[in-house]
Chains A and B, each alone.
Chain A
Amino acid sequence: MTSVSEEPERGGERERDPERGAYGGEAAGAGGAGSAAGASPLPEELRALGRSLDPAGAAGSESMVERVLAQILAERIPAPVAEPPRAGAGERLRTARRWTRARWRSLTATLCGLLALLALTPPVRAAVLDWFDFGGVEVRYDPSAVPSAGAEVPGCGRSLSFAQAERRAGFAPLVPRTLGVPDAVTVTDEPRGRSLMSLCWHERGRVIRLDEFAASLDVTFTKTVREQPEWVELGTEPSATGMSDPALWFPRPHVLSFWLVGADGDRYTHEERTAGPTLLWTHDGAGGEDVTLRLEGVASRSRAMDIAKSVGAWPPVSSEKSPN
């Protein structure tokens, strides 16, 4: 992780330091690059845990064979017959999924009457996850989606205090230390009672905007791209799975769709705008939930990555300079 641990921990509400306190693997800081992939004892511990679940003695399998065969005979279950390859397991699964999805859709629409919800379970999501899994963001490929020229990063509007923002969003803001205290913090309501937190900085007449939301939730943003974004790595230490803090860099302007809650607090409007170069990644939130972050308004990939690497819980410094 980053070398931010010299920052004093303020405000006793944070009971653990997310930068330290981890066990083995990536956080065994002293080991540095030496404690590389595979050296982490955690997977071994977990395998041992799994083996400890096995019942003692192998007698179980014989009695299981008897029980299963007895039931198959008793219920006169016919011998399975291979089905034609076209209706293979995968095909059937897909058919079933399509059917369920279609049904689920109409059910939801009936129950909620909300078109918004339909778009939250887009059929392309499964394919999208194939190469991209940051909860809450969907990336669609559509060469015909031409972004409009000269778009600007929208500002955040009137600012809340950090404490207000945290209360409304349900998680503490994550702040990149390289950008420092934001000029504004706002929280926008999203469908299904969740919230989007936005932090804005003004820099030479331009806006740098950082959107944050709980990653475990459904699609919040849809990015429609004409060319695939690039994978970049924010981490330096190889992890057990060979990927170290993956992030996605969208070098070109693209169409971004998102939801806004209406004035009655009950209806959602689908908004679309052109987003500039964007970096997308996830970070461990203080509450244990992953938070997805999208940084917009920084045109340089390396600077965007530096900003992303410096993200941490706030406040690392004195709280007297609060945005308000």
Chain B
Amino acid sequence: MIARVRAGEPEAYAELVRVHTGIALRAAAALGAGADAEDVVQQAFVKAYCALGRFQDGASFKPWLLSIVANETRNTVRTAARQRTLAGREAAFAEAEPLIPESADPAVATLETERREALLAALEKLSEEHRLVVTYRYLLEMDESETAQALGWPRGTVKSRLNRALRRLSRLLPDFQPREGGDERE
């Protein structure tokens, strides 16, 4: 695919954009782009296109792209405010319709919202590095080596930071009781 783009087929790039738009938007949202997420992602795709000549054959496109998205998000956010505040991120989440089935019990829906808010608040309290590693590894559902590639960290660093970040997160969620055993947890 990348070879075709390099061969001068912009349509081939369309396919790359199509495949990665979803995760790129999620990354921008998770990293605090808020309402600017779409613009950020558009810029990131254009920059990725410009830089594609330097893309290393055999490397994975997704983490490479997401590190560009992250940069672009940082730049955008920095010009607006320092970083989106918690309130800003919550607004972004409110925009993204919660994935609660319509049939769901309203009480369960409230619980889901509260859980998400608690998680967000806890993420907000993490250090930058911890927040990043958790975001890449879990919110963006990348594996360890992709996370390492996207962050430009060695794998051992990803491992140990993730370990500590998760522990810190769990400590920041004191009221976050797991639901009764057997309930959807495997």
Residues of A within 8 A of B (CB): 16, 18, 21-28, 39-56, 58, 60-62, 64-65, 67-69, 71-73, 75, 77, 79-83, 85, 87-90, 92-93, 126, 129-133, 216, 239-244, 246, 282, 284, 288-290
Contacts and interface: CB of A to CB of B under 8 A. Distances in A.
Contacts of A39: 185
B96 A55 contact: yes
Contacts of B8: 79
Interface size class of B (residues with CB under 8 A): 35 or more
Contact of A284 (B10, B19, B92, B167): B167
Contact of B96 (A46, A53, A88): A53
Contacts of B7: 79
B164 interface: yes
A27 B51 contact: no
Contact of B22 (A61, A83, A240): A61
A292 to B, nearest CB: 11
Contacts of A41: 178, 185
Contact of A45 (B119, B164, B171): B119
A82 to B, nearest CB: 5
Given A60-B25, A284-B167, A68 B93 contact: no
Interface stretch (B76-84, B102-110, B150-158): B150-158
Contacts of A44: 185
Given A41-B178, A46-B139, A129-B157, A81 B53 contact: yes
Interface of B: 3, 5-10, 13-14, 17-19, 21-22, 25-26, 29-30, 38, 41-42, 45-46, 49-57, 59, 64, 92-93, 96-99, 115-116, 119-120, 125, 127, 129, 134-135, 138-141, 152-154, 156-157, 159-164, 166-174, 176-178, 185
15 contacts: A23-B173, A41-B178, A47-B138, A50-B135, A51-B99, A53-B93, A54-B22, A54-B96, A67-B42, A68-B49, A72-B13, A83-B53, A85-B57, A87-B54, A89-B64
A243 B98 contact: no
A199 to B, nearest CB: 23
B22 to A, nearest CB: 6
A133 to B, nearest CB: 5
A69 B14 contact: yes
Nearest to A241: B163
Contacts of A83: 53-54
Given A46-B119, A69-B10, A22 B171 contact: yes
A23 B163 CA distance: 15
Contact of A49 (B5, B17, B119): B119
